[in-house]
Structure 1
Amino acid sequence: MIRPAKGKTPRRPPKKPSSNQKDPVGVYCRVRPLDADEKESCIEVISGSTIQLHAPDGLKANRNGEFKETQYSFKKVFGVAVSQIELFEEVARPLVADLIHGKNGLLFTYGVTGSGKTFTMTGCPGQGGLLPRSLDMIFNSVGPYQAKRYVFKTDDKNGMETQNEVDALLERQRRENQPSVPKTPSSKQKPEPEFGDMIKPEEACKADGVDEDSSYSVFVSYIEIYNNYIYDLLEEAPYDPIKPKWNGGGTPVRLNTESIPPQSKILREDQNHNMYVAGCTEVEVKSTEEAFEVFWRGQKKRRIANTQLNRESSRSHSVFIIKLAQAPLDADGNNILQDKSQVTVNQLCLVDLAGSERTSRTRAEGSRLREAGNINQSLMTLRTCIEVLRENQMCGTNKMVPYRDSKITHLFKNYFDGEGKVRMVVCVNPKAEDYEESLLVMRFAEMTQEVEVARPADRPICGFAAGRYQRNQAFKDELSRKLEERGGPVDRDVPSGINHLPPLPPCELTNPHDDVTLPRLIEALEKRHRVRQMMIEEYNKAADMVKAMLQELDSSLISKDNFIHEQTSKLGEKEKVIHNYKSEIDRLEKKIKMQEHKIDILQKTTNIYEEDKRSLQVELETRGQRLQRELCEKRRMEQRMQGMVTDTQIKWEKECERRVNAKQLEMQNKLWVKDEKLKQLKAIVTESRTQGRPEPPPRQTQPQRPSREERVPAKRSASPSPAPTATPVRPLHRRSRSAGGEKWVDHKPASSLELDTVLQPIIPNAIKVSVPSEKVLSKCDKYVLTHQEVASDGEIQTKLIKGEVIKTRGGGQAVQFTDVETLKQELTTGPSRKRRSSEGSPNQGKERTDGDWTDVETRCSVALEMRAGSNMGPGYEHHGYPKRRKP
C-alpha cells in the first residue's frame, strides 16, 4: 500500500476506525443576554435551531435600499433564558458518558470578545458551567470504583503505568514526607469559590453502564496557549529545600516568580500518533472538590487583561484536560492487573478559546496589540484547517491541512482525524456593535457543521474479573437461601434467635421480703440461657455447613488450580509461540516498511517522470501544430509569391521589350543625327582649313552630361593632332613591362567588390587565388595582391601591390614587394576639365576652352591616376564607360 505524501515530511497515517461511519461536528449556538445599558439587538432566535441576524440602524443599506437579513442554522440554539444545566445536558453530558465508556472528546467555546465563552465554560457560584458539571458527573459515576492514589502512574509519554499496593503505599509515604511549600495569600487574588456553591445537590447527574469490574483513576492538567507558546498553569514555583528563602518570621516562602519567566512546553507525538504536551503537570484527583481546587489554582495564573471591550478579557487559549485511566481487576477481584497493555487512557479536552477582536475597537497598543494579533492568527489558522477539511471531503481533493501553523490546531489534529467526537459552542453577543464580527463567526460556525469526523471505534477491555460483582452478590444470595432451608438465620449478619430472646423482667426490689421478683428473674435468665444454647447449636450447625461448603469449594479450587496450572503451562508454550510469531511479524513489518519506503520513492520518481512526459508531449504537440501551421502558411505564401513573381516577370518582360525597341529606335535616330552633324562639321573644317583659320565656336555655358541612354560603347579617341589637316587617330595602348612570359599569382580576397569600370587589369599567365598557397607560389615568379579601401572622396580605391617570388635557403618561397599601383575612378559632373596632351603640342602650357573638344570626347573622358615605379604592372583593356559605384 502506497501512502501519498502530503507535505515536505512524510506524514504518518492516522489510525483508522473500525467502521466507516462519520459524524458531523456538533455546533451549538448560545445567545448572551443584553446588558442593562444596551437596547438594540441584532440577533433574533427564530426556532430551536435557527437564528437571524439583521443589520443595525447605523449600518448602510444594500443596493435595493433594504437592510439584509441572514439566517443561520445549527444543531441547537440556546436563547438568553437557557440555564447552565440545560446546556450541559444537551452538549457536554454525551461527551462525559463517552469518556467513561472509553472514547475521547473535544469541546471548545468560540466567539468574539465579551460573548460569554468563559461563563459558559466555568460559570459562577450557583450557576456552574460545563467544566465543573463534567467533573461532578465523572466522580459521581466512577467514585466507588476508584483505585488508591499512585496505583496508576504517568509514564511521561502520554501513557499510564500500574503498580501494586505496596509500591503505591511507599509512593504515598514518600510524597507526604516531602517538604511542602506553604501558600502565601495575596490581596490581589480573588478568593477561591467552593465547589458546593457552583452546583446544587439536586442538579447532580451520573452516567449509566459503568463497568464495575474495573478500577479507575482521574488525572487533570491545565495549560494555556499564549502568543503561540504553551505554558503549564499547574507548574509549581521553583523551591529549593536545601537553601530556602526565609521571611522575617522564620518561615520558608515561595521564590519570587515574577523574576523567573515560565518555561514554554513543546508538543510531541506518542506511540499511538497522538499529540501531547511534553513535561505537562498531571495531577491525580480523587474527588470533585479536589479537581475543582486544582482547576481554580491554575485559573488564577491565566493571563487576563482589561480592554475597551471586556474588563477581564482572556489573552490566551486555555485547555483543561481530564484523563480517565481504566484497568480491569484480576481473578480475585481485589487488585488491578499489572499489565500495561490492559490499561486504557481516554481524555476529554475542554477548551476556552480567546475571543477574536479588532484593534480599531479595543485600541490595543504594545503587548496587548501583539496578543490580539497572535489570537487572531491562531483563530484564522483554525478556520483555514476547517475550510481545507471541508474542501477535501466535499470535493474529493487531498490537500494538506495546515495543522502545524498554530499550536492550538496542532494539539487537536487527532480529533479531526477520527480520535473522538468534536463539539463547539458558539457564543454571540446580540449588541449592535458586534454585528460585523458576529456575522463572520456565524459563517465560520455554519461551515464547521459540514465537516465530518470519523466515528471512534469501541475499545473493549479484556480482563479476568468480568462480572465479579454480580457473581459475588449471587453467591451471597445462594448462601443465605441454603441457610434458611436448613433452619439457619434469616439475616445474613445477625442470627435468627437474637430477636426472639425473652425480655428481662423488672429487677427493682421494693421490699426485702419480695419473693416474686427474684424467682421471675431467675426463670427469665434460665429461659434466655436455653435460647442461647439453642442459638449456639444453630450457629455450630451453620458453621459446620459453611465449613463443608468451604471444603467443597477448596477442593474445587484445588482442581481448578491444577487445571489453571495446566492451562498456565499451555499458555506459556503458546506465549513462546506467539513471541516467535511476534518477532517474525516485527521482522516482516520492518521489511514491509522498507519496501513501502522504496515504493514511495519509486512512485514519486514515476510521478515526476510521468509529469515530465506529459509536459513534453503537450509541448511536442504544440510545436507540431505550430510547425504544421507554419508549413501551411509557407506553402500559401510560396504559391502567392510564385503567382506574383510570374505576373511581375511577364509584365516586366513586356515592358523591357517595349523599352528596348523604343531605345533602339531612339539611338538609331541619334546616331543618324550625330553622323549628319559630324559630316557638316567635317565639311566646315575642311572648308576653313583651305580658306584660313576658322573662328572658334561659341563657348557653351555648361556642357550637358549625357544621360544613361546616350552612353553607348565607344573606343577612346586619342588627342587631336596639332596639324589642322590631320585626321585624329587612336594611339596604341602601352602595355605594362611586366606583361612578359612570367607567371603571376593573382591574390584577390573573396571580400573584394566588383567595380564594373571600363578599365580592368588583365594579368596573363596568372593563377587566381583567394588565400595564399605555398604550392601556387612554387609555380610562379611574380605576385600581385589586390587591396581595396575607401578614399577620402567616398569612392572605392584599388591598390595593386606587386612583388617577386624568391627562393629561400630552406627550400621555401618568399615574396619581396617592389611596386604599388593605385587605381581610382572619377566621374565628371561639371564643366570639362583642362587636359594636357600626352604628346608635345604647340599649345602646351596654354589653357584650352571647352569648345576645343567635341561632345564625344567630353563624354568619353576618363581620369586615371597611376603611380608607376621602375617596373610597370600588367596592362589594361578598354571595355566601356565607367559606372559610379558607392562603397
Structure 2
Amino acid sequence: MNNLFGIKTTQRELFADVAKPLVEDLIHCKNGLLFTYGVTGSGKTYTMTGSPGQGGLLPRSLDMIFNSIGPYQAKRYVFKPDDKNGMEVQNQVDALLDRQKRDSQTSVPKTPTTRRTDPEFADMISPEEACKAGGVDEDSSYSVFVSYIEIYNNYIYDLLEETPFDPIKPKWNGAGTPLRNNIEFIPPQSKILREDQNHNMYVAGCTEVEVKSTEEAFEVFWRGQKKRRIANTQLNRESSRSHSVFIIKLAQAPLDADGDTVLQDKSQVNVSQLCLVDLAGSERTSRTRAEGSRLREAGNINQSLMTLRTCIEVLRENQMCGTNKMVPYRDSKVTHLFKNYFDGEGKVRMVVCVNPKADDYEETLLVMRFAEMTQEVEVARPVDRPICGFAAGRRQRNQAFKDELTHRLEERGGPSPTVLNQLLQSFHPLPPCEISGPNDDVTLPRLIEALEKRHKIRQMMVEEYNKTANMLKSVLQEQDSNLLSKENFIQEQRGRLGEKDKMIQNQKNEIDRLEKKSKMLEYKIDILQKTTNIYEEDKRSLQHELESREQRLQREMSEKRRMETRMQGIVTDAKLKWEKECERRVNAKQLEMQNKLWVKDEKLKQLKAIVTEGKTENRQPQRPSREKDKVAAKRSVSPSPVPTGPLVRPLHRRSHSAGGERWVDHKPTTNVDLDTVLQPNIPNAIKVNAPNEKALSKCDKYVLTHQEFASDGEIQTKLIKGEVFKTRGGGQAVQFTDIETLKQENPLAASRKRRSSETGPDGEPMERNWTDVETRCSVAVEMRAGSSLGPGYQHHGYPKRRKP
C-alpha cells in the first residue's frame, strides 16, 4: 500500500488511510507497528501527536479504540500484567481489593470525564471526526494498558516510571539550602530487552498503566512526554534526541457460559499491541554544528537509523534472491525491540515525512530511496487463532432474559429491582460499638436500635424474596409449556437444516474440486516463477561479470596511462640528472687543468725567484746573516705574506665557499682535533654526529668533514659537499657535488725532501738557497678546491708553528 499525501492533507485523512486499519487489526487480536521516519525538522512529532483541534495519529487511535470497546470494558484490575509480556485474569475478590487499595492511595477521580477544564488537555479531536471499528466481539471483555518508553543513546528508559529518591543523601543549592525538601532524586535506570515464551521481544520492568478512557490514556501520554529528551539545534528548536515508543496493549478474554464474568482461563486471554514510534530525525553534524553531548546523540541516532536500513536491505535481499542471510537486529535497540514485526508477527506501516527545503535535498533523497526499498519487502503473517468455543451472543441473551424476567415480575405485582436496591441502601452502617465506661448508657441502646431496624429490613427482604420466588416459579412453569411448543418447532427446523446440510455438502464437493484445480494452476505458476527466477539470476550474473570485466579493463587502461606518465617523468629526470652530471664533470675537469697550470706557474715563479735571488746574492757583498735574512724575507714572493711578529692563532676563519644557505655540518665523533686555524666554520649550520631526516628537512646544503692519512703521514681533511632535495616518496636525499681538501704539511720534512732531490746550477745541493725559501715560505700552504669553485680559487691558512 503506497499513498502520497500533499501539504493540504488533513490529520483525519492521513489517519483513515494509515492508522485506522492498524486499530481495526488491534481490536481483532492482531499486532501492528507504525513509525514516522525522516530528517530532522520534517514534522514527524507533529504527525504523531498533532495539535489542539488537529489531533495526530496517536490521539485518534486511542479515541477509536475506546469508542469501539467502551461498553464491553472489564472493571479495573480484572486483567493484570504478569511481568512476562502476558496477562492473567484475577477473580472478583482480588480485583475488588486492588480497586479499594487504589482508591485509598489517591484522591483523584478514577477516570477523568473531560479535559476541557485543563488547557494542557485541550480537545484534540472534534466529536464529528470520531470513528468506531466494526465487528467487535460482544461476548468478550476488554482492557487497555499503555506504556511509554524512549531509546536514548541506544539505552531504553521508562518515561512512566515514578522517579525514586534517596532519603539519606540530600541535595543542596548554591545558597546552602536543601532542594525538594532535602531529597535527591535518583536518575532513571535503563531497561533491558527480554524474550517471552512465545519468542516475542519486550522491555522487562516497564510500567504498564491500565486506562479506561481516551482522556486518561492521553493524560498518561503527556505525563511521559514531559520527560522525553529534546534539545535546541541549528535545524530544529525542539529536536527529539531519542526514539519514543508508545505501546497500546489490548487484553481480550471471553465471558463464561452465563455471560456475566470473564472466563478464568489464562490460555484464553489474547493480548494484541499497537506500537506508535516517533523516530528521531537523521542529521548531519556539519549542518547542526553539534558539539559534546549533542554530537554523541546525533551519532547514536544516525547509527540506529543506519542499522534499521541495513535490516530492511537484508530482508529485501533474502526475499528477492532466495538467500538466508542473518539480519543484524541486535546491532540496535530499535531493531531488536521490533524484531518480531519484521519477522511477520504484525503489520508494519511507515510514514515518511519530507521537508521541501532545498538545504535538505541530499538527506531527503536518501530517505526517499529507503522508503522505495521498503515497499518491496513482504513478510508472511501467522494464522489467527480462535479465542473461545462458546456460542456467540451470550451477553445479549442474558441481558434480554433479565429484562424480560423483571418486566414480568413487575406485571404480576412483584418487587422491582429499584425497590430491592432501596432496601439494600436502607442498611445503614452500624454506629460505633466502643463502650467508654461502666456508666455508658448510650452506646448499647443505640446499637440495639440499629440492629432492630436492620432486622425489620431483613424480614421485609425475606418476604419480598419469597414472594418473588413464588412468582418466578409460576413464570418458569409458563416458560416450560412454551419450551415444549418451541421444541416441536425446533424439530421441524432441524429437518429443514438436514436438507440444507445436504445442499451444503454438495457445494463443498464442488468447492473441493475447484480448489484442486486452483492448486494445480498454482503449482504451474510456481514452476514458471522459478524458471523466471533462474533466468533472471543468470542474467544478473552475466551482467555482473560484464561490469567486472569493464571495470578491470578501465583499471588496466588507467594503470597503463599512469605507467606511461611515470616513465616519461623518470626519463625526464634521468636526462636532467645526466646533463647536470656531464656539466659537473666538464667543469671539474676544466678546474683541475687550470689548477695544474696554476701550480706549474707558481712553481716556475718560485724557481725563477730563487734563481734570480741566488744571482743577486753572488753579486752583492756579503752582509751579516741577520740582515741577509731580513732582505730575503722582504723580497720573497709567496701567495700569502709572512708575519714578522709572533703568530696569533685566530679562533675561526670564514670559508670562502660559504653562502647564505642553511647547511647540515656532519662531523663524526671519530675526527681528531688538529688545533690549527684550518678548521672549517659554517655559520647558521646544524651540527650533527649522524645525519637524520629532521635536520635534512630544514636545510638545503650538506657537508661531511672526513679525515684520513696522506702519503706523507700527515692528516688530510676533506670537506665533502652536496645538495639536499626532496624525493617523491616524501623523504630527503643528498647529491654530492663538491670535495674541498685541507692538507697540513711539515716544512722541515718538505725541506729535507727537496734537499735530497734538487741541486744547484753547479751540481751541488741547494741547501742554503732552500733554507732561505723555507724561512720565507714556512707558513705558505697550498689548498685545492673542487669543481664547484671558480678557476684559480685559493684557500690559505696558518698551521701551528713547531718548536725547533
Instruction: Calculate the TM-score normalised by the size of structure 1.
Output: 0.45
Structure of higher RCO (CA pairs closer than 8 Å, 6+ residues apart) = 1
Instruction: Calculate the TM-score normalised by the size of structure 2.
Output: 0.49
Higher-Rg member (1/2)? 1
